[in-house]
Amino acid sequence: MSNKISKIGVFTSGGDAPGMNAAIRAVVRACAYYKVECVGVLRGYEGMIEGDFEQLDARSVGNILQRGGTVLKSARSKEFRTPEGRLKALGKLRSEGIDALIAIGGDGTFTGLHKFYQEFAIPSICIPGTIDNDLSGTDYTIGYDTATNTAVEAIDKIRDTALSHNRLFFIEVMGRNSGYIAINSGIAGGAAAIVIPEETMTFEELYKILGEGEETNKKSNLVVVAEGSKIGDAHTLAKKVAERSSYFDIKVTVLGHLQRGGAPTYFDRVLASRMGIAAVEGLLDGKNDVMVGIKDNKIVYNDFDTIMQSHHEIDDESLRIAKILSI
């Protein structure tokens, strides 16, 4: 590898995701392997502006692989969105001798780093860390597998209590613009219906599904709702059903930030490790302004325009399976 880079800064930004620490660990240890210095930027772009840096080496990232959250912390920065803020960040990076950046986060993180690269040409690569799995250019994002498993575990427990009563549960999972967690946790959890932002299900169609369960004497029902549902959140849908039917005792559970926490699954740990190493190797090979991804179990590098011009769509097969299993 042609190594013109001497010090890489790594940071996490936006919403945290299980597996981010595994990615940080992989970046730091890959830097050590290739004899490049590594500096942690604390609190994302806000820390970059303030010069909040921490020297990292192979030993300093021990015992973080299994931890949720991010040891580098995360924050959103209004100031970085301004030219003045980005100029401050550049000055702090130069003072520290950081000549390349690796960001772990979602599309907002990537947008900020892309702008920074355009203005100052600092070599940079992004790693997709978001539970939503909504970024194109990769089959999976770091944190998605763990968040979905957390949702499935919660759904299983809710089903236990639903079966003890004549209950209909509306379970809201994360997914403002993406239904990946909802569709797959719903299939795995045996949901009667799954409501996601991408699908055009109407309330009448949802009510018909629930009515068919009533006609066949179904004693409990679960509906999984992505928070970005176009026909209403879990509370809204529960209220509308209750106004039209007294068959079920209706309850609502919003999983919320429970899905962000906890130890990452083996899949997220391995995915994060592969992506972290690939990010360092990509920089040392001269790749810039790209996102590491995984396609068909192989590492790929996607340019910024490719990532932002499309959305990681839910496949029709998942929707078909969910419909068949809802009987």
Taking a C-beta distance cutoff of 8 angstroms, is the pair 191, 223 a contact?
yes
- Reported as type and span, the H/E element at residue 190 is none
User: Kindly report the CA angle at 112 between 107 and 115, in degrees rounded to 5?
Assistant: 120
Options 99, 107, 132, 268, the catalytic residue: 132
Q: Which residues contact 87 (CB under 8 A, 6 or more apart)?
A: none
**CA distances from residue 227 to 129, 236, 257 in whole angstroms, order as listed:** 19, 11, 12
The amino acid at 218: K
**CA distances from residue 259 to 28, 148, 254, 262, 313 in whole angstroms, order as listed:** 26, 8, 10, 8, 21
Q: Which two tokens stand for residue 248?
A: 């079920």
- Kindly write down the DSSP assignment for every residue of 9-67, as one continuous string: EEEE-SS--TTHHHHHHHHHHHHHHTT-EEEEETTHHHHHHHT-EEEE-TTTTTT-TT-
Taking a C-beta distance cutoff of 8 angstroms, is the pair 225, 209 a contact?
no
Q: Please name which of 8, 13, 6 lies closest in space to residue 103, comparing C-alpha atoms.
A: 13
Phi–psi pair at 212, nearest 5 degrees: -65, -35
Asked if 132 is an active-site residue, the reply is: yes
DSSP letter for 214, please. Answer: H
- Reported as type and span, the H/E element at residue 7 is strand 7-12
**CA distances from residue 127 to 51, 239, 273, 290, 293 in whole angstroms, order as listed:** 22, 40, 11, 9, 7
Catalytic amino acids?
Answer: 132
